[in-house]
Structure 1
Amino acid sequence: MPPTTVVDKLTITFLVDNCIEWMSKLPPGFVHELPQHVQLYPEADEVTGVPVVDLDHFCCGAHGFAALIETAVEGEGSHYTLFDVGPDSQSLVRNVSAMKIPVDKIERIILSHWHRDHTGGLLSFLNLRQTAQSKCIVDLHPDRPLARGIAPGPTFDKVVCALPSDPSVEHIEEAGGTVEQSSEGHAVAGNTVWVSGEIPRVTSFETGMMGGMRWYDEPGKRGSWLKEQHIMDERYAAIDVAGKGLVIFSACSHAGIVNVIKDAIAVFSRPIYMIIGGLHLAGPEFAPRIPPTVEFLSRQLRPSPTYILPMHCSGFQSKLALEAAFGEGCVPAGVGLKVNVVGDRGQDERIFPPLY
């Protein structure tokens, strides 16, 4: 039995990403930031009589990721879930304000993993939301590191910098969040969003992040940096849309996007419709993984995804390779962009396995 309820509508608004994309051609259902702003800020200019593009109210890019996920089942209310919160105290709250997001309706925040570019906006967002009457659950993996560092190649053995600390459970609760910790897969948002457990590493070429380091404090000893290339606290999110299949959110893909997709198919036994997020294929260390990744997604995976949105840490070279393989199915997504996915239960019954 599938672990979540199939939804009739999924709406995604990207609130933090490295890129801003205003002009590229988009497929049906994808909406640029500019036309949204014309609706959000319709006041006409006194001289020209048309709305003014007020650049003070547009989204800013940042090295990180955050996406608002709205799921709806026909005859029931919508659920609002925030997947990651960006890198800092400013980008998410600015962009939420710019897009006039109803923060009081966001009932759950899912942190994909403990890296500051995905957790840094949490406390400022919770502070923004504190006037809301409803509680906000913060869904996180219990294995929070003391610190994580970066050791660049070619030797990957010398830490050149540490990432800022992630928010602590105590600080999250002080800011108004209700903490739920789990390393197991579970359904949330009225059973419409799946939060994965730890992702099995089964693909030979996806060997983690060679320069990943973690600080360990041993009782009675001075702490030390130890290699941590697999980042096992990472989780993905999945939504099953009627007549479409699975929409996968993989914020950084430290596990490898092929491992992510293989796990989602094993859990759901459903086809992949859309892949969203950071694929972590940027830079020389990851360049050899691009060809086998694209080969799997475009040729070995059947049916292949209709859309793939390489964002955040995916890198320019992977975007070029994915565009060559998927054409317009490789979508140039960025902060401020909205995606509307409308389900079709009749189509689901015709082409997919029975729904339970």
Structure 2
Amino acid sequence: MRKLSLIIVAILVLALAFIPLFRQQNPVRQQEGGNKNKITIVYDNKALGGFKSSWGFAALVRFKNHTILFDTGGNGEILLSNMRKLGIDPKSIQYIFLSHIHGDHTGGLWAILRENPNVTVFLPDIFPDSFKEKVRSFGAKVVEIDEPEEILEDIYTTGVMFPVGEQALVLKTSKGLVVVTGCSHPGIVRIVERAENITGENAYLVVGGFHLFGAPEKEVRVIAASLKRLGVQKIMPCHCTGGEAERIFAEEFGMGYVECGVGKTVSW
């Protein structure tokens, strides 16, 4: 009987010894799965503590082993500072996607190209030739966008939409489309409709500037309802959306609303 008790105690001791190993392994697996596809805000009007905020927008998109910098904010020093604090190496960027010509979305580009010229820059073909030549002078490749097209596997551009001449980025994911916008000058509903028409799939998540500063509450609620009808389940309004519009979207989308700001990440 005493020998049996000793055996049981020994088994319990061994079991307790292995528990910490399992605790260490599980978070690693969860982290790897959670980090595969995500968008991290690196430049915005708002920021978490420790990061710098400024007028403009930029987000780092990681999807299917591709690393894309969507827009570059207005100030290269601020952009690089936020990226350093987030542990993002500029040399890890493979592609830069510029939504439109405004300086609060393109101003940080030159600082990035000085750090990493080995990138492909997707930009609207209506950008000035002088801008394109300056990009090429760093050694970067320029791809001019006009019509909707698949630019990488399951990654699309809406093509240039007017007014202003703006493109949005569209990711085809297992949950639906993820749409990333710069300022949404053509209208956020029009952009999402274009994304769905291109791919034949419903939108799941929309991230970026919605250009709704000063928009009446009724208009914002109509936009929210339209996005829901298009299948949008999660929304992360940033930059030029406006505080009042953000409040309304938070009410309309509830748990599907994600607050924006430098340092924030949304994954799927």
Q: Under a length normalisation based on structure 2, what TM-score does the superposition of the two structures give?
A: 0.81
The answer as to whether partners of 2:158 and 2:191 remain within 8 angstroms in 1 is no
Say whether 1:86 aligns with 2:73.
Answer: yes
1:302 CA drift (Å) = 4.8
Partner amino acid, structure 2, of 1:63: W
Match of 1:65 in 2: 57
User: Any idea what the Cα deviations from partners look like across 1:27-69, whole Å, max 9, x if unmatched?
Assistant: xxxxxxxxxxxxxxxxxxxxxxxxxxxxxxx321111111111
Distance in 2, Cα, partners of 1:124 & 1:170? 16
Match of 1:198 in 2: 160
Distance in 1, Cα, partners of 2:154 & 2:80? 26
Match of 2:41 in 1: 14
Which structure 2 segments of 5+ residues have no match? Answer: 1-34
Out of 92, 100, 110, the residue aligned to residue 87 of structure 2 is 100
1:181 to 1:302, Cα distance in 2 relative to 1, 3 A: closer
User: Any idea what the Cα deviations from partners look like across 1:270-313, whole Å, max 9, x if unmatched?
Assistant: 121101000000025x6663232123123xx153x221001000
Say whether 1:253 aligns with 2:184.
Answer: yes
Distance in 2, Cα, partners of 1:302 & 1:239? 16
Please list, as runs of the form range in 1=range in 2, the aligned pairs for 1:309-324 lying within 5 A after superposition: 309-324=236-251
1:9 CA drift (Å) = 4.4
Number of aligned pairs? 234
Secondary structure at 2:189 match in 1: helix
Q: Which has the higher contact order (CA 8 A, sep 6+)?
A: 1
Flag the structure with higher helix content: 2
> After alignment, is 288-297 or 82-91 more displaced?
288-297
What is the alpha-carbon root mean square deviation over aligned residues? Answer: 2.1
Out of 104, 125, 144, the residue aligned to residue 127 of structure 2 is 144
> After alignment, is 102-111 or 257-266 more displaced?
102-111
Secondary structure at 1:18 match in 2: coil
Distance in 2, Cα, partners of 1:287 & 1:339? 26
Out of 278, 284, 297, the residue aligned to residue 209 of structure 2 is 278
The answer as to whether partners of 2:56 and 2:104 remain within 8 angstroms in 1 is yes
Match of 2:141 in 1: 178
Match of 1:239 in 2: 171
Match of 1:329 in 2: 256
Distance in 2, Cα, partners of 1:110 & 1:59? 23
Of all paired residues, the percent bearing the same amino acid is 30
Partner amino acid, structure 2, of 1:171: K
Partner amino acid, structure 1, of 2:184: S
The answer as to whether partners of 1:237 and 1:249 remain within 8 angstroms in 2 is yes
Which structure 1 segments of 5+ residues have no match? Answer: 1-7, 23-57, 73-77, 147-166, 202-229, 342-356
Q: Under a length normalisation based on structure 1, what TM-score does the superposition of the two structures give?
A: 0.62
1:250 CA drift (Å) = 1.1
Match of 1:109 in 2: 96
